Structure 1
Amino acid sequence: MTLAYIVYFGLIISLALVWQLPRWYATTSGGFSQSGANIASLITVVLVTVVIGFRYAVGGDFFGYIDYYTYTTMYDTPSTVYFEPGFLYLIQFLKLFSFPPQAIIAATTCVQCILLVAWLRKRVDLAALVIFYIFSTLLIFEVNSTIRQGVAFFAILVALDAINRRNLFLFGAMIFLAFLFHRSAIVFFPIGLMLWRVSLPPVSLQLGGLMLAYFMTQLFSDQVIFLFSYLAPMLDYTSYGRTSRSDLLLTGGYDSYGIAAFFWMIVDIILILFSRRTAARWADQGYARYHYLFLVAAILTPVNTSWGFIPFARALFYFNGMRAICLAFLTADLLSRRSLRDASFAAALLVMFTAWLVVGIARGAAWASPYQFAF
């Protein structure tokens, strides 16, 4: 456990310092320098690939992916395997060099990180905070477990940036890349087009929708249990369509699951309360698009945290990931204002999520611990 704390917090601090290089280059050269961003990007990709990509036995699908790699041959085609073409071709590329099975985990981690730094390079001021929240919301560990969907998530992140820059070709290319690794990502083509021009709804409407979602989840608990139990066998997830956790959703209790649901509700309320101001501050970065996707996650979180239904959680994965991005935008905005109140609020968020990461590692959430290196 101690090793996990040292490794993860050491990596967060190292990457945060690395992304000060572009700022330092800008200060010394009198303007933004590609050299600093290039060095920071390279170091980030190498460090994350080695430290995260070579973890052993991470996630419920780890050994399944190892089997995919082991039993896939150079003669396989997309029609002869159960997974997407992009993942197949990546396996076959690695097999050309006779890499061991662990290479598929490291390679997908590398692809994820390349896509992330492609997004970060245009937001150097946000980089350290994005990295912090990707770790502290446990997103980094989730994408290391669901590696195909992890690649799709970061490709979608770049696609959203392409929309903001009105680059339709890049948007289409990134959605296609996401689709090559996880078929579910295709839904973001129409979603992305709908987000071409957006403006946030009033805060009161957002809060009303959030509170209604929690209320309806409690009210229709039995019906949702029945629906999930009915759908589970059809989706080959029978073991997950079982128990209700709705009694822990808003109760105090002593169960960490209830605490988690309460924690995320508070975080979502904070993001909503500051949404208009954050959107105005980061209008040039298209913050509203990330916030709209986060809202989907916020409204469906009470359902997600009440029942252990994996297909639903997987469908919500892309939207949940946007919470980390929105938190980084919000914290950066708070820190940029010359106000003790805003700075204190930002500090409180950072402390909250540092504690969340500590607890997550201690409990092995999202397979964050124990830390085991593959070799």
Structure 2
Amino acid sequence: MNRPVKAIRTPAGLSVRVDPRASAVVLVLGAAAVASAVGLIGSGDFPMSFRDVVDTLLGNGTAAQEFIVRELRLPRVLVAVLVGASLALSGAIFQSLSRNPLGSPDVIGFGQGATVGALAVIVLFGGDSLAVSGGAVAGGLLTGVLVYLLAWRRGVQGFRLVLVGIGVAAMLTAVVHYLITKADLVDATRATLWMTGSLDGRDWAQVRPLLIMCAVLLPVVLAYGRPLRMLEMGDDAAYGLGVPVERTRIVLMGSGVLFIAVATAAAGPISFVALSAPQLARRLTRSPGPNLAAAAVTGAALLLVADWVATNTFTDRQLPVGVVTGVLGGCYLLWLLVTERKAGRI
């Protein structure tokens, strides 16, 4: 069925295609993310009303409210927004490149690569938080290069990328367990806590690298949105439409790996957001293609809601947000597998 799509001409003479439903979904999800962020800032041991939070953000709060909001809670919320959006964008990129809803970076090894890099720094070198972040980024990038080289055979086909990635993920998971067994008690405890994925204690030091990454990579990924959509039709069709296939794939894979590596460095390995957010965005927009903007706001909203559940559901203690996303994402993965099997795609 044809979707109503409007063409808008810019002052520079460019024509931009706009899908009204997709635009409405992005606006609604963006508003939901903002409302969730304000509600999350207002929750905690020092509760604040919605209006008090807004007034404080606008500079009209008391000294105590200013400190609590701007120094303690706002950085955590911004990390949740940026990490959720980054994971979702990485998932949208790899699911489109592999043309497989299971082609998520935390399924095909890139998330595990970042985890191994971070754990190696913790266990082998006893590095600080900055070194751990660097190790996560380096591990993710090296894993991306390895998967690309192993999957290459006159190009990189989607099914081969997924199969190679799953194999690499299994090997990296074994490396994670090995590193844990080699660590002493203190480092093993630190590594285990980091591996659960948490937003607790996040401050402006984690916000800045995420902002820089998004400022650099987001325009690149959006610029390659149309070629990415064409790649979903297959390499031959993309070649016929004038898309430089391998260059596009390398740029997008590099961007996707950086998204998940920096997000993992900031908050630890938070599972299933990269898998579920792009699929939820596609179902909400009812639009083919990567739906990058919708996926980003869906990922941000999902992680904000998951963090609210983690901090408010159990009154005696807070759960790491990775535990909540793991439970919800595991249920979603089972549903997705059943759906794909019924459709005859797996």
Q: Tell me whether the two structures share a fold, i.e. TM-score over 0.5.
A: no
TM-score (normalised: structure 1): 0.28
1 or 2 for the larger relative contact order (CA 8 Å, sep ≥6)? 2
